[in-house]
Structure 1
């Protein structure tokens, strides 16, 4: 009797297992979806959902929006708002019910946005995002161990080269840059062998980082360990100051618009500029390429700041599901490749690199992807905003001959004061 009962129970268990219709792989898929912050059901937009997006308007984004609207039936309104302005605008417009559902900004503002409760975590697509994205990009859009962003691309800067002016110079060292500038410079006629924005701390930081300078200790996470006046930072600023010999212009006169215009006109041989300006140079009349920033004296290579641009879902959005779907859609492999081809952005989707056929003959992408090996990510803690405020004024002082150590000491002291005041 017992033996028959046991046999019956075993048969029933087998029958139930067969009726469940789920293999081990099916169960794993369901578990994976649950771990991603969602359920076994596909995320669907809310009824009647419409979205407002704040980012820079361009054809790539407009085309992507059209494709999303076609696939999901959700209308997306694009407002042309520059990346550095989106988050500050949300701080005022969000509570008033006027903010965007989605906004783009650089990862250095993630800590500020998260701490202020302005953005929602990337929860439903968390595991998929992590498995598809380069770890450095994941780290950049994560704060307090919570993933917030949907990384779209890396942005950084390197050396744009007008080969019609500089010929076949290798540009491995700054000595070559100095020689080219001295030969070509004709300041009264607005001709320059070399140009950079000397009032851009984003660019100048590469020299400090290359010599070991830093903003915050512990890989940019310790607000109490400041390295603005460290030995490496001072040495980097000394090199920066030496460039005035080949760029004898007032710090405030070298604006982005001026530099972009002169390079476009073929009046600049070497131009430090970012991936974000690549599209504006696509129609230049001269032979152009991009190379990594050359080695500084002592064999130290500048470490350009890198940023990760991503989309973030506003905590004020009435349609978070639709917003998450759109952010995930924009960060897809296909859209990252299209963004690279159209705008010069560096993909952060795993496996998308310079060896791909799409980038084989793209001199700009080849150069920027090579430069990406020599970068340092911007810190993303909230206190990063004080770096720009307190250290940018030091650039003009140093460029005009001020004592470097004293100037950086003062900048660091002001930054300490800002951090202390912000902690109260």
Structure 2
């Protein structure tokens, strides 16, 4: 009897082992790449769910429209595109998700990543992680990752620098900000709406470059330590003192320096130097005058502004009913082939590894100017507390620029406001 029981037990163990060996791994079921080095699965193994239909929130452009059409034809999956600004998708998915109205895939700017991860509304780029890391530039990968985990499928990188109307500036020396100030003072004619230099002076995305240039900082430890707020550090104070000095060549109230006004003056040939971002690179190639892009020049003490560099990418939301189809779609949109078309079709700088070395772009002065600026830039922090940074400094710009407030005291108040906001949000 004991012998029979022993043989039965051995038989049962063998059966259990056979069942375990025949069970599909997790990547077969969910598309999650659990490759441990022995798995031979490739991204082509991922199959979309039967009957999948996707909702896609993003800003529309020619490449998005053509890519959606190609994806639908290739996978027989309908994609409904709703135009939502990439800086608005994060807040919207957090509110629409619980109601069952969220998109499957969203386009999003990188500084919103931490907040969406902490809210649990986006999922990691797991299945296509290897491909994404091989194809994407380092700055884009850093911007699309949070706490060491890659979430995004990077599309483009963005920053800002100086667009120069060569017809107006001609051979003027523009090697330092002192040079720019000297040129602007001679060129300005406020009564005729003619300006040598202009930018969105109320925007802390642009103003951060002066703080960082003087060794100030937003958060410590490369933008990750939110308990170490640096906006009232000695470097930040010096940076904002420089900011205030620009008022002498841009003698307008902040409310009068709107983007619409600035871009209109630029297009009309009444603005000589326009500090603006890469997202307007495409339109600037079509201006009726010669445009040159110059990296941000030297301030005083040999210090140079450090522009913030961010990335726009695609993210799969945790609310999707079709995670495999969504992964396939986000990866398709950011494939090497598709991103190779991005610059030509939209003027956006693709998040492609090695893009800057392509021979056909060597003589593209505007692109090369921005690539130089990107290489000398700083990653835009993507911790959730960045929302407190933008909010707390809104009034500081007006106080310093419009009311000539004491810079140190104003920044001290902004720092305290940030600390309070961060504490309240926890």
TM-score, normalised to structure 1, is 0.88
The structure 2 residue matched to 1:152, chosen from 132, 152, 155, is 155
The structure 2 residue matched to 1:336, chosen from 315, 318, 339, is 339
Contact 1:33 1:40 in 2 (8 A): no
Equivalents in 2 of 1:274, 1:112: separation in Å? Answer: 24
Q: Which residue of 1 aligns with 2:216?
A: 213
Answer yes or no: is 1:181 the counterpart of 2:216: no
Answer yes or no: is 1:172 the counterpart of 2:213: no
The Cα shift of 1:91 comes to 1.3
Q: Which residue of 1 aligns with 2:388?
A: 386
Equivalents in 1 of 2:179, 2:40: separation in Å? Answer: 53
The structure 1 residue matched to 2:399, chosen from 393, 397, 404, is 397
The structure 1 residue matched to 2:260, chosen from 257, 278, 281, is 257
The Cα shift of 1:367 comes to 1.3
Equivalents in 2 of 1:332, 1:79: separation in Å? Answer: 21
The 3-state SS of whatever aligns with 2:87 is helix
Question: Mind listing any 5+ residue stretches in structure 1 that lack a counterpart?
Answer: 1-29
Deviates more, 1:379-388 or 1:64-73: 64-73
Deviates more, 1:307-316 or 1:342-351: 342-351
Equivalents in 2 of 1:33, 1:362: separation in Å? Answer: 43
The Cα shift of 1:347 comes to 2.5
Q: Which residue of 1 aligns with 2:376?
A: 374
Paired residues for 1:262-341 under 5 Å = 262-341=265-344
The 3-state SS of whatever aligns with 2:47 is coil
Equivalents in 2 of 1:384, 1:60: separation in Å? Answer: 30
The Cα shift of 1:32 comes to 5.7
Q: Which residue of 2 aligns with 1:411?
A: 414
Q: Which residue of 1 aligns with 2:229?
A: 226
Paired residues for 1:105-120 under 5 Å = 105-120=108-123
Q: Which residue of 2 aligns with 1:7?
A: none
The Cα shift of 1:37 comes to 11
Q: Which residue of 2 aligns with 1:64?
A: 67
Moved over 6 A (4+): 33-41
The structure 1 residue matched to 2:166, chosen from 163, 170, 181, is 163
Answer yes or no: is 1:356 the counterpart of 2:358: yes
Q: Which residue of 2 aligns with 1:248?
A: 251
The Cα shift of 1:39 comes to 6.4
Contact 1:151 1:311 in 2 (8 A): yes
Q: Which residue of 2 aligns with 1:5?
A: none
Equivalents in 1 of 2:319, 2:415: separation in Å? Answer: 36
Deviates more, 1:165-174 or 1:230-239: 165-174
> How big is the alpha-carbon RMSD for the aligned residues of Structure 1 and Structure 2?
2.0
The Cα shift of 1:330 comes to 1.6
Q: Which residue of 2 aligns with 1:142?
A: 145
Task: Give CA-to-partner distance per residue, 1:284-307, whole Å, 9 cap, x none.
Answer: 100112111111111111100110
Equivalents in 1 of 2:73, 2:193: separation in Å? Answer: 49
The Cα shift of 1:328 comes to 0.9
The Cα shift of 1:38 comes to 6.6
Equivalents in 2 of 1:158, 1:369: separation in Å? Answer: 10
The Cα shift of 1:36 comes to 9.4
The Cα shift of 1:107 comes to 1.2
The Cα shift of 1:62 comes to 1.0
Task: Give CA-to-partner distance per residue, 1:239-261, whole Å, 9 cap, x none.
Answer: 01000000000011111122112
Equivalents in 2 of 1:370, 1:316: separation in Å? Answer: 39
Equivalents in 1 of 2:259, 2:128: separation in Å? Answer: 37
Task: Give CA-to-partner distance per residue, 1:361-417, whole Å, 9 cap, x none.
Answer: 433212111111121111111111100010121011100200000000000000000
The 3-state SS of whatever aligns with 1:188 is helix
TM-score, normalised to structure 2, is 0.88
Equivalents in 2 of 1:35, 1:105: separation in Å? Answer: 34
The Cα shift of 1:35 comes to 8.3
Question: Mind listing any 5+ residue stretches in structure 2 that lack a counterpart?
Answer: 1-32
Deviates more, 1:362-371 or 1:120-129: 362-371
The Cα shift of 1:213 comes to 0.8
Contact 1:108 1:384 in 2 (8 A): yes
- Name the CA shift for 1:294/1:50 in 2 (closer, same or farther; >3 Å): same
Q: Which residue of 2 aligns with 1:19?
A: none
Deviates more, 1:92-101 or 1:224-233: 92-101
Contact 1:196 1:272 in 2 (8 A): yes
The Cα shift of 1:360 comes to 3.2
Task: Give CA-to-partner distance per residue, 1:72-105, whole Å, 9 cap, x none.
Answer: 2222222111111111111111111211111111
